[in-house]
Structure 1
Amino acid sequence: MKKINIGGVPEHFNLAWYLTLKDGAYKENNINLRWHDYPGGTGAMCKALRNKDIDLAVILTEGIIKDIIDGNPCKIVQTFVETPLVWGIHVAKNSSYKTIDDIKGTKAAISRYGSGSHLMAFINAENHHWDIKNDLNFEVVKDLEGAVKSLTDGSSDYFLWEKFTTKPLVDDGTFRRIGNCPSPWPCFVIAAREDFIEGNTEDLKTILEIINNTTSEFKDIPSIDKTISNRYKQKLEDVQEWLSITEWSQSLIDKKTIMNTQKELFALDIIDKIVDYNMLTYKL
């Protein structure tokens, strides 16, 4: 049985992977797929792909595009979640900041440079016509737990993270959310190392077929809202709202979306060049 390692964030978006692993669907096809949680998000997964700790990653679109352009020998093989990610903009409960204008020029907590929380701080700044060079400052906090500590002790001022993941921290008064910032592109893609693709094309096709069969019917799974609510400690009404606005994909990200995402990243100086569609994607 072939062992294949995949990484992703331990969040509700990836429950479909847990369900297929629990059902033994991959083992039935002689694949020992091992899931690895990356609470640190995109930056940690990019590093793991480069180090060959994992073969595949369910990863933020903007983060993997940047890292491939920066030399990570990977390709996007499919879109995973078609809809944009809604990033909440959070401050500490006792913070004096009330609006997004208030945090202009203050310090953003980010998990890592090149991470989603880093890149989306640029998008938020652009949306509000800030001076990118002077109004953005960063404090690396590694993960959500680090952000809680950093915002609470005042070493950083605000933090962008997926709205529904952080909702329990808003509900219990750890954070206040002062705004939202949707990503201007589909949020999650599946990326694979080039050397893995070359030697394991059929296994990769099988893995995608299994996960796609589950995501295409995900919303119809009986009591899926209750399952997510219990597993991820989220209120049922929040889960139901999230399900209503989230669509999974079973196809490769298209050229227009890739080029538009790169134009946005290039305009913000997040990437230093725009590359051909085929440099970033691989069609199975």
Structure 2
Amino acid sequence: MKKVNIGGVPEHFNLAWYLTLKNSEYKDQNINLRWHDYHGGTGAMTKALRSGEIDMAVILTEGIVKDIIEGNPSKIVQTFVETPLIWGIHVAADSQFKTIDDIKGSRAAISRYGSGSHLMAYINAKNNNWDIENDLNFEVIKNLDGAIKGLTEGQADYFMWEKFTTKPIVDEGVFRRIDNCRSPWPCFVIAVRQEFIDNNEADLKTILDIINETTSEFKSIPSIDKTIANRYGQELEDVQEWLSLTEWSQSVMDKETLDNVQEQLYDLKIISEKVDYSNLIHKV
């Protein structure tokens, strides 16, 4: 049986993977797919892809594009979530900051350099016409637990993370959300190490076929909203709103979309060069 390691964030976006694993759908095809949670998000997964710790990752578009351009020997094989990610901009509940203008020039908590929380801080700065050089400062906090500690203890001032994942923390009165920022592209893609693609393309196609079948009918799974609410500790109405806003994909990201991603990252000096579509994408 072929062993395959895949990584992703332990969030509701990835429930389809859990369901297909629970149903032994990969084992039925002689594939031992092993899921690994990466609480540190995109930065931790790009490192794991580079080291060979994982073969595949469900990862933020902007993070993997940046890392492939910087030498990560991986390719994007398809879009996973078509819709943008809604990033909540959070401060400590008792913080003096009330608006986006208030946090200009303050310290953004980020999980790692090169992570989504890092890169989206640039997008937020651009959206609000900040001076990129002078109005962005960063404190590395590793993960969501680190952000709770960092904001509460005053080590950092604001933190950007997916709105619905952090909603329970807002409801508890730990964070206060002052605004939202949407990623200007489809949020999650599936990336695979080139070595794995070269040697296991048939297995990769099987894995993609299985997950795509589940995501294509995900919203029609009976009581899926209740399943998500219970598994991820969220309010049912929040889950229902999230489901109404989220669309999965079963196709490869097109050149126009990827060119837009690169253009924006280049303008923000997040990447130093733009590369050809074929350097980023592999069509299975």
Q: How high is the TM-score relative to the length of structure 1?
A: 1.00
The corresponding residue for 2:260 is: 260
2:282 aligned with 1:282: yes
| Equivalent-residue separation in structure 2 for 1:150 and 1:39 (angstroms) | 16
| Equivalent-residue separation in structure 2 for 1:71 and 1:17 (angstroms) | 28
| Equivalent-residue separation in structure 2 for 1:172 and 1:142 (angstroms) | 21
Letter of the 1:278 counterpart: S
Aligned-pair distance for 1:73? 0.3
2:231 aligned with 1:244: no
Aligned-pair distance for 1:221? 0.2
2:38 aligned with 1:38: yes
Aligned-pair distance for 1:265? 0.2
The corresponding residue for 1:21 is: 21
Aligned-pair distance for 1:21? 0.0
| Equivalent-residue separation in structure 1 for 2:219 and 2:186 (angstroms) | 18
The corresponding residue for 2:154 is: 154
The corresponding residue for 2:136 is: 136
Aligned-pair distance for 1:75? 0.1
| Equivalent-residue separation in structure 1 for 2:199 and 2:41 (angstroms) | 27
Letter of the 2:9 counterpart: V
The corresponding residue for 1:54 is: 54
| Equivalent-residue separation in structure 2 for 1:70 and 1:152 (angstroms) | 34
The corresponding residue for 1:168 is: 168
Aligned-pair distance for 1:261? 0.4
| Equivalent-residue separation in structure 2 for 1:56 and 1:35 (angstroms) | 10
| Equivalent-residue separation in structure 2 for 1:197 and 1:141 (angstroms) | 33
2:160 aligned with 1:123: no
Aligned-pair distance for 1:242? 0.2
Aligned-pair distance for 1:99? 0.2
Alpha-carbon RMSD across the aligned residues, in angstroms, is: 0.2
Letter of the 1:188 counterpart: F
Report percent identity of matched pairs.
74
Letter of the 1:60 counterpart: L
| Equivalent-residue separation in structure 1 for 2:146 and 2:39 (angstroms) | 10
User: How many residues get paired?
Assistant: 284
Aligned-pair distance for 1:103? 0.1
The corresponding residue for 1:70 is: 70
Aligned-pair distance for 1:56? 0.1
Aligned-pair distance for 1:76? 0.1
| Equivalent-residue separation in structure 2 for 1:269 and 1:251 (angstroms) | 29
The corresponding residue for 1:217 is: 217
The corresponding residue for 2:273 is: 273
Unaligned runs of 5+ in 2: none
Letter of the 2:201 counterpart: T
Aligned-pair distance for 1:57? 0.1
Aligned-pair distance for 1:61? 0.2
Letter of the 1:84 counterpart: P
Aligned-pair distance for 1:17? 0.1
Letter of the 1:102 counterpart: D
Unaligned runs of 5+ in 1: none
**Post-superposition CA distance 1:166-224 (Å, at most 9, x none):** 00000000000000000000000000000000000000000000000000000000000
Letter of the 1:238 counterpart: D
| Equivalent-residue separation in structure 2 for 1:129 and 1:154 (angstroms) | 26
The corresponding residue for 1:184 is: 184
Q: List structure 1 runs of 4+ shifted beyond 4 angstroms.
A: none
**Post-superposition CA distance 1:92-117 (Å, at most 9, x none):** 00000000000000000000000000
